[in-house]
Amino acid sequence: MAWYEVKGNDADTVVSTRIRFARNLAGFRFDKGLTADDARTVIDRVGKALGEADFTRTDFDKVSAVEAQSLVEQHLASREFAAKKGPRALFRNDNKSVSVMACEEDHIRLQCILPGLALRDAYRFACECDDALDAALDIAFDEKLGYLTHCPTNLGTGLRASVMLFLPAIAAEGGIPSLARQLAQIGLTMRGLYGEGSDSRGCLYQISNQVTLGLSEEEILKKLEDAVATVIERERALRRAVSGEDAERRADRIHRAEGILRYATLISSEEFFDHFTDIKLGIALGLVTSISDEALNALLIRCLPATLTLGAAKPPESGTARDRLRAELIHNAWEV
């Protein structure tokens, strides 16, 4: 089972938690300065350091476009990593919770992603993997600056901690822009589902630390943890505050979304996202009991075009065929 098929903590408001470290090998040039031969050497060394037995390697200069796109959809590879040229590889463990991009912008982009709110666990697993790499490889490190990275925004700890939140009530009252400003003032960034520049489909918002330098890893985690706790409380309070006819209209909207997802035979990716929001809120409110939150979260990934295509017995040959396949996948996710 992939990490996204498992129930996490605070699932009513948190979809997933991610810890990412940026690392580079000493003695190799960074990013575009790296020759293809050197890139291959870096990839092989990273693979060996991780322990090839526990990780699946995918060479992105050889992989099909649809497979690469599916790995992006699963949050295992960045869009930039999929789009760039030259030798580069993704290593991932069995449940896809720990993965390493070799030769992305940095030589090493290590991440641990877990369901629900799990900052400490994700940090611990990421550190274990980082320790293994550190023990086996000569990592570029400066006593004063900390870990050296291609982009100065990652200097220092090289740590990016992020939490994917589900905030339909804050979004409904138009509170997202002001929340983003408040978070920016304390050095946190709020973004849409697929990172920088992406929109906020499904009322999913990612909060992460902006600064990696001048703060300890513990300070970064603590700040994010506190901010997330506050946002979660606000979201929950707003949900609880809905009453009377407003609550009845919300319930109606939720049940309609359930009816459509269970009955429609053609469903576009965009439409799924719209209904996802209502169903997920319905599960949190106890109004929808016919599908589990983790099954719904898994659909969030499985319904995306490339992952959908890869999961099919026969690749869909038209938009309609894809919409039909998506509807079947959704029907199957329901338990009764």
Task: Classify residue 139 by its DSSP letter.
Answer: B
Nearer to a second copy (CB atom), residue 174 or residue 263:
263
Pull the structure tokens for residue 115: 């369901």
Nearer to a second copy (CB atom), residue 57 or residue 253:
253
Which positions touch a second copy (CB under 8 A)? 245, 248-249, 251-252, 255-256, 258-266, 318, 320, 324, 327
**Count of alpha carbons within 13 Å of 122, Cβ hemisphere only?**
30
Minimum CB separation from a second copy for residue 248, in Å? 6
Pull the structure tokens for residue 240: 């609880």
Distance CA 199, CA 195 (A): 9
Nearer to a second copy (CB atom), residue 264 or residue 310:
264
Minimum CB separation from a second copy for residue 125, in Å? 40
Distance CA 79, CA 72 (A): 6
Minimum CB separation from a second copy for residue 271, in Å? 10
Minimum CB separation from a second copy for residue 267, in Å? 8
Distance CA 108, CA 126 (A): 12
Nearer to a second copy (CB atom), residue 37 or residue 245:
245
3-state secondary structure of 298: helix
Nearer to a second copy (CB atom), residue 82 or residue 261:
261
Distance CA 20, CA 18 (A): 7
Minimum CB separation from a second copy for residue 134, in Å? 54
Secondary element (H or E) of residue 56: strand 56-59
